[in-house]
């Protein structure tokens, strides 16, 4: 589960998680450390991209 300090996931990040795990974001699922790292990095990249606009 992402921590409270994690940025909210975008639709793109949710779709990536769904395609990797078959999970629907918002449901309680167990993700591997690699999946969580990917989701966090994707979310951070999207936040950083939005901040640079």
Each residue's pLDDT tens digit in the chain (53 positions)?
556 666 677 888 878 877 877 766 666 667 788 888 898 898 888 888 888 87
Could you give the angle at which helices 33-52 and 11-21 cross, rounded to 10 degrees? Answer: 160
- Quick count: other Cβ atoms within 10 Å of Cβ 9? 19
pLDDT at res. 23: 65
pLDDT at res. 21: 76
pLDDT at res. 8: 74
Residue 5 lies in a domain: no
**In terms of residue numbers, what domain contains 40?**
11-21+31-52
pLDDT at res. 22: 73
Number of domains forming the structure of the chain = 1
Residue 45 lies in a domain: yes
Residue 4 lies in a domain: no
Residue 16 lies in a domain: yes
pLDDT at res. 5: 64
Residue 6 lies in a domain: no
Residue 36 lies in a domain: yes
């Amino acid at each position: 589960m992402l921590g409270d300090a994690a940025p909210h996931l975008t639709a793109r990040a949710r779709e990536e998680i769904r395609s990797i795990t078959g999970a629907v974001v918002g449901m309680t699922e167990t993700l591997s450390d690699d999946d969580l790292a990917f989701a966090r990095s994707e979310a951070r990249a999207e936040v950083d991209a939005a901040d640079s606009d």
